[in-house]
Amino acid sequence: MENVGVLLVSYGSRAASIADALTRSENYKVTIFDADKQKNPFIYKRSKDIMLGLDVNKIGEFAKKHKDEIDFGIVGPEGPIIEGVRDIVEKEAGIPMICPTREFAIEGSKLSQRILLEKCCPRANPRFKVFDRKDYAGSTDDVRKDVFKWLDEFDNQVAVKPDLPATGKGVGVWGDHFNTREELFDHFMSIYNTGPVIIEEKIDGEEFSLQFFSDGKKLVPSPCVRDYKRAFDGDRGPNTGGMGCYKDAGDRLPFMDSRDLEEGLEIGRKIFRELKGDGSNPGLRGIPLYMAYTCAGDGLKVFEINSRLGDPEAQNIMPVIKDDFVDVCFDMVNGELKDIEFEPLATVVTYSVPMTYGGYRKKFTGSKRVDLTDVESLRDSYNGRLKVYPGSMELGDDGKTYTCSSRTVCCVGLGEDIATARKISLKGVTSIDGPLWNRWDIGSREHIEKSIRHVKRLRGSGPE
Ligand code: GLY
């Protein structure tokens, strides 16, 4: 077996799922060099060296220190991608990185995404308007007047979004986060002081994500997944980074029409062509597009574009990549990416999160100890059908594991259908020993049927 060294820029369960895909390789013996926000127990166990912190210059130094042992790098979280980790590591250490360059990290500006979409896929672009402090010379009355005038166009049915990434948390939606214009304007002002704000029409529909891999020449899709952003069952409570996610055994989801999948793929290809130009553009290597769509009454609308794998969306697809993932990585680096084959299995990801996450409890002063011994034994008895990926969790100096403040650990069930995968995922979650909670309805029949009915109501017909 050939030895391969990989620089993994990590944060959370998504990176654990990448580490798992790499170390599952049957063709290569993989050694990981981990740059991580904290000592993730899963990745730490599989790494030769680790640096803590995600400062891109320090990651450059860490890469340089190990440059003779590392063949390529791959990046999970958005922060370092937007801050140009690829540019720095490639320049400092000469290690090819799998993620877009700073210039092509289009996740960095929602406004640029809207402008790009207007150019190549206007039909999929919700109507939007930008409010920028520099146009108002500090006058709150003027901007309020213009905001309210824009709200008239949509009978208040809008989403208010900061230009800069805020992992969903700076986004406010009429009817969900505010019910009066004053409340909307308070939210608007809280982000307007930090940069431009976009107010766009609220799209009624069901969401799904489509993540694309690329070598800079070819764009290769992965199966569609559905994220659960709200904290509580029944899609109630505040937005979170995502409490769980499901994918079906095939490429699309039960509430989607075959035309939705085709349209989702076509929009991705058009954006890619627009960014790439003629020939190839290595700046787009990695996962240049993770498209977040809404299945609306009149087809698809794009509500967000990211330049990385999603979390938890990655955890749905990494366990079912049938090809050797190290070969896929080499193909991306060498500009030889082929179609990626996925196991025809459904996957359900359920996140276990700390007591105060999503406002579940105001305060929790108990122990933060999380013991994965039982769930890992269960995993070992499941023959690859249960994955346990620690996220915002760290290995303490005492050798025990503790939750940090964000999504702690996820359990991914793999099955012939969504119901089977969900059962396994929940069995995993209930075997975790720790002060954590979770949503119970990720991939539930009731939730999926509600999504199907919703799309049917909007379109007057069900999925074909
Ligand atoms: N699941 C949302 C995100 O990764 O941005």
pLDDT tens column, 328-340:
999 999 999 999 9
Residue 229 phi, psi (nearest 5):
-80, -35
Q: Does residue 313's CB lie within 6 angstroms of at least one atom of ligand 1?
A: yes
pLDDT in tens, 427-458: 999 999 999 999 999 999 999 999 999 999 99
**127-201 and 206-449 have identical folds:** no
What amino acid occupies position 13?
S
pLDDT at 464 > cutoff 70 = no
pLDDT in tens, 368-385: 999 999 999 999 999 999
pLDDT in tens, 25-64: 999 999 999 999 999 999 999 999 999 999 999 999 999 9
The yes/no answer on whether domain 127-201 falls in CATH 3.30.1490.20 is yes
CA distance 326 to 323: 9
Average pLDDT over every residue of 187-198: 92
Q: What is the fold of 206-449?
A: D-amino Acid Aminotransferase; Chain A, domain 1 (3.30.470)
CA distance 354 to 122: 41
CA distance 407 to 13: 8
| CA 208 – ligand 1 centroid, Å | 11
Q: Does residue 311's CB lie within 6 angstroms of at least one atom of ligand 1?
A: yes
CA distance 378 to 418: 20
Domain ranges of the chain: 2-99, 127-201, 206-449
pLDDT at 461: 74
pLDDT class for 165, splitting at 50, 70, 90?
Answer: confident
pLDDT class for 168, splitting at 50, 70, 90?
Answer: low
CATH of region 2-99, choose from 3.40.190.10, 3.40.50.720, 3.40.50.20, 1.10.3720.10: 3.40.50.20
pLDDT in tens, 234-289: 999 988 999 999 999 999 999 999 999 999 999 999 999 999 998 899 999 999 99
Q: Does residue 221's CB lie within 6 angstroms of at least one atom of ligand 1?
A: no
pTM above 0.75, yes or no: yes
pLDDT at 129 > cutoff 60 = yes
Contacts of residue 314, Cβ cutoff 8 Å, sequence gap at least 6: 14, 17, 18, 76, 211
| % of the chain residues with pLDDT over 70 | 99
Return the structure tokens found at 66: 């190990």
The atom of ligand 1 lying closest to the CA of 304 is: 5
pLDDT class for 212, splitting at 50, 70, 90?
Answer: very high
Return the structure tokens found at 419: 């119901």
| CA 179 – ligand 1 centroid, Å | 25
**Residue to probe by mutation, ligand 1, list 311, 316, 318, most atoms within 8 Å of CB:** 311
